[in-house]
Amino acid sequence: MRELTSTELSSFPSLDWLDIAPRVAPSLRASLEKALETQTGASLTLDEAYALANAEGDDLLGLLVAANMLRAELTGNIVTYVVNRNMNFTNICFVGCKFCAFSRGPRESDAYFHSLETMAQKAREAWQLGATEVCIQGGLPRELDKFYYRDILRAIKSAVPQMHIHAFSPMEIVYGVELTGMPLADYLSMLRDNGLGTLPGTAAEVLDDEIRHVLSANKLSTAQWVEVIGTAHRCGIRTTSTLMYGHCETPAHWVRQMRLLRDIQSETGGFTEFVPLGFVHQNTLLFAQGLARTGPTLAEHLKVHALARILLAGSINNIQVSWVKLNRQLSQLCLHAGANDYGGTLMEENISREAGATAGQYTSPEDFQALILEIGRIPAERNTTYSRINIKLPFNESAFTAEQSMEPEFA
């Protein structure tokens, strides 16, 4: 099949399903029509999902248009974002993931470790600037005080009791369990009781142990990731879910990961959203050693978002664009390809910037609103769990609050 030019790809939002459907291969068209009709990715077989993940040319355009239609059916025309601050409390890390340009050895000149007082102060500043969430992750330093993660929560909650704390990757949770010797469920319950609101579903990268071994020999296994996430959900801690694409994985890995996430969601109902994370290759060992391609192509960026919309439909209905890894136009295109959420304003974002991403460290709520209005959609600020949204119409005085349940109740 002919490869689409970037101009052809970028103009897909102007296509209508009736324009493109006759040009899509009959079997692929039947799969897309079934997903549109049933509004659930569960209606597709594994082979149908693989075929969608490998779509090219007009088939790919059909996938993008169908994903956008399904997005409109499932989440309407609202595009949400959350006002938050990213707080990486340390960049010192012994794990050595080859895709990471953020971590430092303890003696490097730019290594840092923020005190509990600094973390509390940053949370206070964020609250004063309108943030409703702080997102906290960091490197894994050796000999970390064994209750440090709990103590970060206590410091922030005593400074700003109303702040939602979205913190600690499954890798950090595994480290906390190792440090304390506590059972996983007890450890997570302790964090919850000290103020942990939700957990980022990061450290997933690709949930396939062969690929994980290439990315990082020391990272938690697929089974450990699933165990941490499932246990968190059962402890009443909701999480996000992620996939890192554009390095050494194949489209089959995307499919299997999305289906695994569906399976977890059908058991626990604990995922709030799915976040595709494009690999930023510059400044990474993975790329320097010839183990990865140069990040995702435009077609891959769009395809992953669209595939997620189709395969996760009826299971995880919020698909986020990670704007720090994309440029302005690309993030808008991904919103046309099935996504409905812009993620967080972030205020400071170190991890993608160190790896070479250029989208910046902060997008103000006003910038988000403008980007969303530019593509004809409705901007709305949300809380972390999407249970409250505040629609932002072009004039501030028209803003109003709507309580809206966009997801099934957390089981």
Residues near ligand SF4, by CB under 6 A = 93, 95-97, 100, 102-103, 139-140, 171, 216
Nearer to ligand SF4 (CB atom), residue 98 or residue 336: 98
Provide, rounded to whole angstroms, the least separation between the CB of residue 356 and ligand SF4. Answer: 14
Provide, rounded to whole angstroms, the least separation between the CB of residue 160 and ligand SF4. Answer: 25
**Buried-exposed string 377-411: b where 16+ CB fall within 10 A, e elsewhere:** bbbbbbbbbbebbebbeeeeeeeeeeebebbeeee
For Cα atoms 246, 250, 254, give the angle at the middle one, nearest 5 degrees.
85
Provide, rounded to whole angstroms, the least separation between the CB of residue 133 and ligand SF4. Answer: 20
Provide, rounded to whole angstroms, the least separation between the CB of residue 328 and ligand SF4. Answer: 26
For Cα atoms 257, 237, 152, give the angle at the middle one, nearest 5 degrees.
110
Shortest CA distance to 251 belongs to which of 60, 4, 17, 380?
Answer: 60
Distance (Å, rounded) from C-alpha 79 to C-alpha 128?
Answer: 24
Nearer to ligand SF4 (CB atom), residue 90 or residue 340: 90
Nearer to ligand SF4 (CB atom), residue 347 or residue 355: 355
Provide, rounded to whole angstroms, the least separation between the CB of residue 394 and ligand SF4. Answer: 39
H-helix segments, 79-194? 116-128, 148-159, 170-180, 184-193
109's CB contacts (< 8 A; 6+ apart) are: none
> Which tokens in the block code for residue 73?
């059916």
Q: What SS3 state is found at 270?
A: coil
Provide, rounded to whole angstroms, the least separation between the CB of residue 157 and ligand SF4. Answer: 24
Nearer to ligand SF4 (CB atom), residue 262 or residue 281: 281
26, exposed or middle or buried, with CB in 10 Å at 0-12, 13-18, 19+?
Answer: exposed
> Which tokens in the block code for residue 298?
């435009």
Provide, rounded to whole angstroms, the least separation between the CB of residue 334 and ligand SF4. Answer: 23
Of the chain, the end-to-end C-alpha distance in Å amounts to 44
Nearer to ligand SF4 (CB atom), residue 31 or residue 137: 137
Please, are residues 230 and 264 in contact by the beta-carbon 8 Å criterion? yes
Nearer to ligand SF4 (CB atom), residue 219 or residue 382: 219
Nearer to ligand SF4 (CB atom), residue 93 or residue 153: 93
